[in-house]
Structure 1
Amino acid sequence: MSAHAPLFNRAFGAFLFDMDGTVLNSIAAAERIWSAWALRHGVDVETFLPTIHGARAIDTITRLNLPGLDAEEQAAYITAAEINDVEGIVEIPAAAAFLGSLPKDRWAMVTSAPRDLALRRMAAAGIPEPAVMITAEDVKAGKPDPSGYLLAAKKLGVEPTDCLIFEDATVGIQAAEAAGAALMIITTTHQHPVETAHATLASYDAISVKVDADGWLRLRAN
């Protein structure tokens, strides 16, 4: 763990979590489906796959600007395929236990996945369903726009600047920064070391949480 002292020396009103790559690993399933889709539409798989992580399907498809393609229709196809294929989806080490240790009204999930897909993947990985979950349908603009994180903070009744956001992907990190929140980057699924000024974490085993007398969350290093 790259632990930056400021995160352990302050209290947070809430924790906000990205899903894919942050509390569960769905890379194998996602890349199977997106690879087949890319081949079918003449998109170079090797250069395309790194761009899918953390973004809404419709934003990924729209960004390609392929002629004659209905982005909404294709995004719906991708979502259906991903709901049907959860083979190999697992939790990030100790993520379920860490989430289970948090007060239910003090954390939220903010994912670029549609709600049905998010629930399917969390069930497959054994991740508890949050009381507050912001999905692709809840925002007009996906990450790196901060709308999802701002909405989650609002629903939890806390200021974004009082939140700690757990993220893994570039667009999500940009969204967290734009929201003005503190940031912990989960590196479990990263193939290469990440260069960042933010704190990094490879396993939730390395941290725990104490709720102080005022109901605020304080991180502790194990």
Structure 2
Amino acid sequence: MSLPEPLGTFDAVIFDFDGTLADSHESMMNAYRVFAAEYGVDYKLAEQYTGMPTEAVAKILLPPELARAGGLRIDELESTNTGGVVALPGAVAALAAIPPDRQAIATSCTDRLIAARMRAADLPMPAVVVTRDMVAEGKPAPDSFLLAAERLGVDPARCVVLEDAPAGVRGAKAAGCATIGVRTRYDDEALASDWCVDTLADLRFVATDGGIVVTPA
């Protein structure tokens, strides 16, 4: 897919974290292996749900009476084992190019987990970070993106969201945001975003008086 020049001018940019700003796959898989062994869950089954909020995964895999404890255990394992979490290409440059009051992260991570992974990836924490703890419904609901736009003080329709998962893209679209899919795990058809790139390094973000201009790199 060839990208138009430019993609658009936006009041703010909202980033997903895992698979968009950083690669946390190795850390996540290690955590799920331990969780699966401890709770007697098939690891291959658990693996299918990685990237979802940990409480939601536990509700799918465990009896109701164990779900809350299981979700907390996954979060603990992921937060204390961040080996292999690294920034993805273009992440540092993208965050540096966008003014702090015009960028946010909207993630399915908990507060504890995003803090641990941002430190591990050596990425600066934006002033606005919306985690799963802060919203009634996680992705694919639009809540995370609506709250990020509200805290930035901008209209969601004037935001562009960078996402690597179909659920995140659906949530961003439901919030009224423009979407750029990152092909970390899914292809263009699965992402169904307005535009698609391989990594953030394929994009350039330029701050102007009129907004953030997003163009192909």
Q: Is 1:67 aligned with 2:68?
A: no
1:14-40 CA distances to partner (integer Å, 9 max, x unpaired)? 000111111000011111111221233
- The equivalent position to 1:166 in structure 2, one of 162, 186, 209, is 162
**Contact 1:167–1:184 under 8 Å retained in 2:** yes
Amino acid at match of 2:60: R
When normalised by structure 1's length, the TM-score is: 0.89
- The equivalent position to 2:171 in structure 1, one of 152, 175, 178, is 175
Alignment of 1:130-209 (within 5 A): 130-187=126-183, 189-190=184-185, 193-195=187-189, 196-198=191-193, 199-209=195-205
What's 2:36 paired with? 38
- The equivalent position to 1:26 in structure 2, one of 24, 27, 35, is 24
**Stretches of structure 2 lacking an aligned partner (at least 5 in a row):** none
What's 1:218 paired with? 213
Q: Measure how far apart 1:197 and its partner are.
A: 4.2
**Contact 1:59–1:142 under 8 Å retained in 2:** no
Q: Distance in 1 between matches of 2:180 and 2:151?
A: 21
Q: Is 1:121 aligned with 2:117?
A: yes
Call closer, same or farther: CA 1:71–1:219 in 2, change over 3 Å: same
SS in 1 for 2:137: coil
SS in 2 for 1:185: strand
Call closer, same or farther: CA 1:76–1:158 in 2, change over 3 Å: same
What's 1:112 paired with? 108
Q: Which moved more, 1:41-50 or 1:176-185?
A: 41-50
- Runs of 4+ with deviation above 4 angstroms: none
Question: What percentage of residue pairs aligned between the two structures are identical?
Answer: 31
Q: Distance in 2 between matches of 1:194 and 1:210?
A: 25
Q: Distance in 2 between matches of 1:94 and 1:4?
A: 17
SS in 1 for 2:8: coil
1:141-194 CA distances to partner (integer Å, 9 max, x unpaired)? 11111101000001111111111000011221221121121111111x32x644
Q: Which moved more, 1:161-170 or 1:72-81?
A: 72-81
SS in 1 for 2:180: strand
**Contact 1:25–1:90 under 8 Å retained in 2:** yes
SS in 2 for 1:70: helix
SS in 2 for 1:129: coil
**Contact 2:90–2:202 under 8 Å retained in 1:** no
Q: Distance in 2 between matches of 1:63 and 1:157?
A: 36
How many residues matched? 215
**Contact 1:186–1:201 under 8 Å retained in 2:** yes
Q: Distance in 1 between matches of 2:90 and 2:144?
A: 25
Q: Distance in 2 between matches of 1:9 and 1:112?
A: 26
Q: Distance in 2 between matches of 1:39 and 1:173?
A: 32
Amino acid at match of 1:29: S
**Contact 1:13–1:158 under 8 Å retained in 2:** yes
**Stretches of structure 1 lacking an aligned partner (at least 5 in a row):** none
When normalised by structure 2's length, the TM-score is: 0.91
